[in-house]
Structure 1
Amino acid sequence: MVQIGYTMMTEQAGPRELVDHVVRAEQVGFDFSVTSDHYFPWLAAQGHSPYAWCVLGAAAQATSRIPLMTYVTCPTRRYHPAVVAQKAATMQLLSNGRFRLGLGSGEKLNEHVVGGDWPTASVRLEMLEEAVQIIRALFAGGYVSHQGTHFDVEAAKLWDLPDRPPPIGIAVSGELSCDLAGRLGDLVIATEPKPELVEAFDRHGGAGKPRVGQVPVSYGPDRDAALHRAHDQFRWFGGSWKVNSELPGPASFVGATTFVKPEDVVASIPCGDRVEDFVEAVRPYAEAGFTEIALVQIGGDTQPAFLDWAEKELLPALREL
């Protein structure tokens, strides 16, 4: 059976609200949760971007059952991989083994804040691979020293290690990242329901490992209002990842989406309250071989109503996939 998850979208709600939302998501029966890790929102209309790791720590204490995961953290620019390893190990302890570390090669939107040139996509993948190797070495215990192409580590050691290190997920968008995820990841992460991503992940060593996808939705009894909200806050979602990863700030995303119309948004994001529309948006992921699918309800102030509706109508329907 496909597991259905809930997304704490840090770009659209404050830290206290995010924790309240995931507590309710646990209560209504979501199977897992994921958390974005941003410094900026995609668009200013979203309006938020608290520090994800503080939110995760609070969520670990406020919940008892629901698994938690970053979706995703970039361990190469804003954070050094040795620091990511320490954060992830601590989260695994705080959550009593419910944490998974989702990693990706990053977007300029978030990573440019520390300065320096933004590397090419191929270099970012090289950096991600080296970062994963450092994180795994630290998870293994003992002192780690490393002088690599992109990172140096001098006599680092994690003093608080869980018995079981956090599983590592790696975000993919093409053959090279699928190769990395298959070799070094415990699960794969994607935002598109492409069977070829799953096939490439399996081919490179990922067979039998979890596959986690994500679907944006815009629930609301007034379909026009739900559509307007999706267009206002999520019209960037349909853009090419090659473009999205290169834009430096919300103003750039406004410019890049100037000609995106509401009808373009509704083609990929279900809007309103017809359960069947939401099921059909999730179905391609299940058919592509994804084992876990996280929903993103658009609009921070709409989460309570969405979660109530999900408990009564949406989750029972999705359980049949």
Structure 2
Amino acid sequence: MTVYGFHASHEQVPPADLLAAVMRAEQAGFTAAMCSDHFSPWSSRQGESGFAWSWLGAALQATRLSYGVVNAPGQRYHPAIIAQAIGTLASMYPGRFWAALGTGEASNEHITGGGWPNKATRQRRLEHSVEVMRKLLQGEEVSHDGLVTVDRARLWTLPDEPPALLGAAVSVATAERCARWADGMITVAAEEDHLRRMIAAYKDNGGRGKVCLQVHVSYHPDEDEALRIAHEQWRTNVFAPPFCWDTDSVESFDQAAEHVRPEAMHAAVRISSDPGRHAEWLNSYAGLGFDAIYVHHVGQEQSGFIDVFGERVLPQLEVTRP
């Protein structure tokens, strides 16, 4: 069976409203949650970007769900600071927190003024960061010279057991590389053949732990409105790498998306007014072998989506708790 979680999008929803949404999602039957960790939204229309780590403490206290966050250590965040944040939350809420680590996007990381390294350098920097974070979460004193620098760091508040550090991957090559160090993998919805290759690349190369999926959906009782919501809110997210990694401003994303047609949204978002169709899509993803699926409704208003999915979609799925 599969864990079905609620994805909290800090780029789109004010943090207080997002906290109310995740509480509602728990009541509706979602059994887990995860959130983004952005400094900037993808579009001026999204218009938010709350600090994920403040919100996570509140959300863990307000619900009984497990939570994850996708984070990019090494530039905007020093890995020792993220290890401290992870250790604190895992200490306060044992067994309920994980982090997925990736190489990041320029739209969030450029704020340090340190330039934006190429993908190969970012990948090595991530792996240096993971090495530092694992040692810190095991209680070691760490000094490190390389693509990140650490001088005699030690975490004094530690969980009884280090939480899982997943690898965030969108390509087969990255999934294979994550297998070297990660406690699991998370990716985003794509064509099923690609997702099968992602799972195989991770597991066949020794990858351990759960494999997770984030799915973007747009639901509204009116089909045209569901498409309008997806186009209005998520058309800046249809671009493949490296454009989405290397573009560094909301203005540039908005300009690039000016000519994205509404019909193009179907390639990036599951759009339907039919709850049964959404259940079919989610069951199909579960059938590929994903242990957890996190559902992100790309609209800013979350209540209708949560209620309908709780009443009419989740009952059609084999839902389990983590």
TM-score past 0.5 threshold: yes
2:108 equivalent in structure 1: 110
- The answer to whether the Cα contact below 8 Å between 2:214 and 2:295 also exists between their aligned partners in 1 is yes
Q: Which moved more, 1:110-119 or 1:170-179?
A: 170-179
1:180 is aligned to 177
Match of 1:81 in 2: 79
- Structure 1, gaps ≥5 residues long: none
Cα offset, 1:32, TM superposition: 1.2
For 1:256, the equivalent position in structure 2 comes to: 256
**Secondary structure in structure 2 of the residue aligned to 1:218:** strand
Mapped contact 2:74–2:125 kept (Cα < 8 A):
yes
> What is the alpha-carbon distance in structure 1 between the residues aligned to residue 284 and residue 120 of structure 2?
29
What is the DSSP-based 3-state SS (H/G/I as helix, E as strand, rest coil) of the residue aligned with 2:59?
Answer: helix
Q: Matches of 2:29 and 2:92 in 1, distance apart?
A: 21
Farther-moved stretch of structure 1 (276-285 vs 243-252)? 276-285
Q: Is the 8 A contact 1:61 1:94 kept in 2?
A: no
Q: Which residue of 2 aligns with 1:156?
A: 153
Within 5 A, what are the aligned runs for 1:35-50?
Answer: 35-50=35-50
Q: Distance in 1 between matches of 2:63 and 2:47?
A: 26
Q: Distance in 1 between matches of 2:267 and 2:174?
A: 27
Query: What one-letter code is carried by the residue in structure 1 that aligns with 2:56?
Result: L
Separation in 1, partners of 2:127, 2:291? 24
Task: Give the counterpart of 1:170 among 148, 167, 172.
Answer: 167
Q: Secondary structure at the match of 2:20?
A: helix
Q: TM-score, normalised by structure 1?
A: 0.94
SS in 1 for 2:156: coil
Is the 2:168–2:185 Cα contact (8 Å) retained in structure 1? Answer: yes
Q: What do residues 8-39 of structure 1 show as CA deviations (whole Å, max 9, x unaligned)?
A: 10011111111111111112221211100000
User: Among 92, 96, 107, which residue is 1:98 paired with?
Assistant: 96
Q: Secondary structure at the match of 1:239?
A: coil
Q: State the distance in 1 between where 2:237 and 2:5 align.
A: 19
Partner of 1:58: 58
- Cα shift at 1:162: 0.5
CA shift, 1:85, in A, is 0.2
> Aligned with 1:290: secondary structure?
coil
What secondary structure sits across from 1:173 in the alignment? Answer: coil
Aligned counterpart, 2:210: 210
- Residues 42 and 250 in structure 2, CA contact (< 8 A), matched pair in contact too: yes
User: Which secondary structure does the structure 1 equivalent of 2:71 belong to?
Assistant: coil
Equivalence for 2:292: 292
Task: Give the 3 Å change call, closer, same or farther, for CA 196–243 of structure 1 in structure 2.
Answer: same
Give distance in 2, aligned partners of 1:153 and 1:176: 29
Report what 1:228 is aligned to: 228
CA contact (8 A) 2:279 2:314 kept: no
3-state DSSP of counterpart to 1:12: coil
User: Given the two structures, how large is their TM-score scaled by the length of structure 2?
Assistant: 0.93
- Runs (5+) with no aligned partner, structure 2: none
Q: 1:275 touches 1:317 (CA, 8 Å); kept in 2?
A: no
Q: 1:74 to 1:303 in 2, by over 3 A?
A: same
Report the CA distance between 1:74 and its aligned residue.
Answer: 0.4
In structure 1, the residue matched to 2:315 is: 316
**Shift in Å, 1:269:** 2.1
Letter of the 2:314 counterpart: L
Instruction: Quote the offset at 1:283 in angstroms.
Output: 4.3
Q: Is the 8 A contact 1:141 1:161 kept in 2?
A: yes
Hey, what does 2:266 align to over in structure 1?
266
Counterpart-to-counterpart distance in 2, 1:261 and 1:143? 53
One-letter amino acid of the counterpart of residue 103, structure 1: L
What is the RMSD of the two structures over their aligned residues, measured on CA atoms?
1.7
Q: Which residue identity is paired with 2:258? A: T
Is the contact made by 2:67 and 2:96 (CA closer than 8 Å) also made in structure 1?
yes
Alignment-mate amino acid for residue 103 of structure 2 = S
Q: Distance in 2 between matches of 1:168 and 1:87?
A: 13
